[in-house]
């Protein structure tokens, strides 16, 4: 169901944001039509027409043949053929064999041509603003002279096509989570297929079914998938049980540019000092809040848990159909995740992790020397906080999970919601939502004596350990492409609100698309993005399930907070002992 919702959503929002280059292409095509057709002011310019046709095909994921490129030139065949040869000699066009015989080629824009058009797009946008839009705006003028040109130079170009077809029998097979970002990948499948030169088959599951399918796949003699998406807390379990292949066995890790990834997301992809995946989504859980409602009420954004409760109390007016806050409280994985994150808000990890600068250390976990720390004073404060949150939540809160908590926020029936950034498109791209353009983003408000954290969630993409050796090289190439800056920017431009890379967050086109990227980037620099709230030990799924059951009974008031803590602690101790 979640995958279907994500699919429907991304199909509706796919065209909300377009890359500047696509906009400029459309503009120049229309302008050229006017100049050529109105009074014969200008003769057709074959190189311009052919370049535009090449780039449009590349962006749309449609193959371009020499015949179609010549037709697009609007000049006689012989002239167009000479211009085509000139562009090939100038390194503006890449040829890729369409058949094994190598006698038939498809044509694609080279990196050189793409780079030139990116520069042209930026210049045309600035000139248009200067002459037709924002000529009188001092900010626009100063942006050009004091940083605009430099910033434009940092723009990430579109995906460039591979010069050789990806050699993989039957096409590439990918297993993913059914969330908006991975559904964007599905909608962009044609572009990725053109880039790789191979068909792509993608299967999407809800979070619990994804884990079950990944584990079932590991039991098969040969993997059904070339690449699988892995929730960050599963890394330890999947590494220890041989589900994933250590990446250093099949590739040079340096080619991924590890320093460009947010440290929390990159570190979370490791177990025992080895990388088992590449961050595809770094999506912290944040507090979404309505800036307009806070302004009307004269309230400051909450940074402490008591301030959050005060604000929720003010906005909680059930008779008017409005509630204070929405959060994950459904039994099982949803609530269990909330428990671990809420304990972190009060400075308590679920395991006895050592304190380090910025939080708690997890590098030692592969050694197995850890125990559960649930039944503590900080744990009690976290439990009591959730009981108070319950008072200002919607009546169906105990069945609310990932999507259900953000839907009422987008509809305007709750003033605040805890949510992953990957769900922000449900209100950021819906102009009918009361939260559209009115949402602020904060790390989790902290309890007494604790510091704010933004617990990192998201997925890495890894290679199954039982993948046939002859498919591994192709899987590495595809994995590198899917997690590249160019691909990550493309996801953003088509509705995604997750990003694991610094360079993508710094891209001016990305920053214009949503305030969420600047907010998350600031949290990363302040060391607020942390993955220790959900330590990736092999017992993680069991710990989450235990907390999701015992604390649900607490919220239903069948047991007290102290009883919930004691029961969860006892079950967690038994679970960890059973794995040693």
Across the chain, what does the average pLDDT equal? 87
Look at residue 215 in the predicted model and tell me its pLDDT: 97
Is 172-281+458-521 CATH 3.20.20.80?
no
Decide if 172-281+458-521 and 283-456+529-578 have a common fold. Answer: yes
Query: What pLDDT was estimated at residue 4?
Result: 39
Cβ-based neighbours of 111, under 8 Å, separated by 6 or more: 157, 160
399-413 tens-digit pLDDT: 999 999 999 999 999
> Could you say which architecture CATH assigns to the domain 20-133+140-153?
Orthogonal Bundle (1.10)
Question: Residue 7: what pLDDT?
Answer: 44
Q: Which of 497 and 120 is assigned the larger pLDDT? A: 497
Proportion of the chain above pLDDT 90, given as a percent: 63
* Segment 306-325 mean pLDDT: 97
Report residue 40's pLDDT band, with 50, 70 and 90 as the boundaries. low
Question: What is 283-456+529-578's CATH number?
Answer: 3.40.190.10
Q: What does the pLDDT average to over 97-124?
A: 74
pLDDT digit string (tens) for 281-310? 999 999 999 999 999 999 999 999 999 999
Query: How would residue 431 be classed by pLDDT, with cut points 50, 70 and 90?
Result: very high
In whole angstroms, what is the distance from residue 201 CA to residue 450 CA?
A: 45
**How do 414-420 and 227-231 pair as beta strands?**
unpaired
- pTM reported for the whole predicted model: 0.75
3-state secondary structure of 456: strand
Does the structure show a pLDDT above 70 at 130? no
Beta bridge partners of 454: 529
CA–CA separation, 445 and 441 (whole Å): 11
For 446-456, what is each residue's pLDDT tens digit? 999 999 999 99
Of 130-134, 151-155, 208-212, 410-414, least confident by mean pLDDT is: 151-155
Closest to 328 in 3D by CA, of 211, 417, 413: 417
- Give per-residue pLDDT as tens, 148-166: 333 333 688 888 777 778 8
Q: What single string gives the DSSP state of each residue in 246-262? A: -GGGTS-GGGG-GGGB-
Question: CA-to-CA distance for 133 and 136, rounded, in angstroms?
Answer: 8
Question: 93 pLDDT band (50/70/90 cuts)?
Answer: confident
Question: pLDDT value at position 100?
Answer: 64
Distance CA 325, CA 386 (A): 11
Q: Which residues contact 266 (CB under 8 A, 6 or more apart)?
A: 258, 279, 500
Q: In the numeric block, which tokens belong to residue 159?
A: 């995906």
For the chain, the domains span 20-133+140-153, 172-281+458-521, 283-456+529-578
């Amino acid at each position: 169901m979640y995958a279907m919702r994500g699919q429907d959503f991304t199909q509706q929002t796919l065209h909300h944001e377009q890359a500047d280059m696509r906009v400029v292409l459309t503009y120049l095509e229309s302008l050229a039509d006017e100049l050529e057709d109105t009074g014969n002011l200008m003769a057709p310019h074959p190189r311009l027409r052919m370049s535009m046709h090449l780039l449009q095909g590349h962006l749309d994921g449609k193959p371009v043949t020499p015949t179609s490129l010549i037709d697009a030139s609007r000049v006689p065949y012989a002239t167009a053929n000479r211009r085509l040869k000139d562009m090939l000699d100038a390194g503006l066009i890449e040829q890729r064999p369409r058949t094994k015989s190598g006698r038939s080629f498809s044509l694609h824009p080279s990196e050189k041509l793409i780079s030139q058009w990116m520069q042209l797009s930026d210049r045309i946008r600035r000139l248009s603003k200067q002459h037709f839009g924002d000529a009188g705006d001092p900010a626009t003028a100063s942006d050009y002279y004091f940083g605009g040109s430099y910033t434009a130079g940092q723009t990430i170009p579109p995906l460039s096509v591979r010069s050789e077809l990806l050699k993989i029998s039957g096409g590439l097979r990918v297993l993913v989570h059914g969330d908006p970002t991975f559904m964007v990948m599905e909608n962009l499948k044609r572009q990725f297929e053109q880039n790789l030169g191979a068909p792509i088959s993608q299967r999407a599951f809800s979070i619990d079914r994804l884990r079950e399918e990944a584990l079932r796949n590991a039991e098969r003699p040969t993997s059904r998938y070339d690449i699988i998406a892995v929730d960050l807390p599963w890394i330890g379990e999947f590494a220890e049980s041989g589900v994933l292949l250590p990446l250093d066995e099949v590739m040079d890790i340096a080619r991924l540019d590890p320093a460009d990834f947010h440290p929390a997301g990159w570190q979370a992809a490791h177990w025992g000092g080895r990388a088992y995946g590449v961050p595809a989504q770094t999506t912290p859980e944040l507090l979404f809040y309505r800036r307009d409602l806070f302004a009307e009420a004269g309230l400051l954004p909450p940074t402490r848990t008591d301030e959050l409760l005060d604000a929720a109390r003010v906005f909680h007016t059930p008779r008017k159909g409005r509630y204070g806050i929405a959060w994950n409280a459904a039994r099982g994985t949803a609530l269990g995740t909330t428990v671990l994150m809420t304990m972190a808000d009060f400075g308590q990890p679920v395991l006895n992790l050592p304190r380090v600068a910025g939080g708690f250390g997890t590098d030692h976990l592969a050694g197995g020397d850890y125990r559960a720390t649930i039944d503590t004073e900080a744990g009690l404060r976290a439990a009591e906080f959730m009981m108070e949150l319950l008072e200002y939540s919607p009546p169906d809160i105990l069945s609310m999970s990932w999507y259900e908590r953000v839907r009422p926020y987008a509809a305007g029936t709750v003033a605040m919601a805890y949510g992953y950034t990957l769900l922000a498109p449900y209100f950021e791209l819906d102009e009918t939502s009361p939260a559209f353009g009115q949402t602020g983003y904060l790390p989790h408000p902290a309890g007494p004596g604790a510091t704010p954290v933004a617990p990192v969630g998201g997925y890495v993409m890894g290679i199954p350990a039982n993948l046939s050796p002859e498919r591994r090289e192709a899987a590495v190439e595809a994995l590198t492409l899917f997690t590249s800056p160019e691909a990550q920017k493309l996801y953003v431009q088509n509705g995604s609100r997750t990003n694991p890379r610094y360079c993508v967050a710094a891209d001016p086109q990305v920053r214009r698309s949503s305030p969420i990227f600047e907010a998350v980037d600031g949290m990363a620099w302040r060391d607020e993005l942390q993955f220790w709230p959900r330590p990736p030990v092999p017992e993680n799924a069991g710990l989450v399930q235990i907390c999701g059951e015992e604390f649900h009974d607490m919220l239903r008031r069948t047991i007290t907070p102290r009883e919930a803590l004691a029961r969860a602690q006892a079950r967690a101790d038994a679970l960890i002992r059973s794995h040693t």
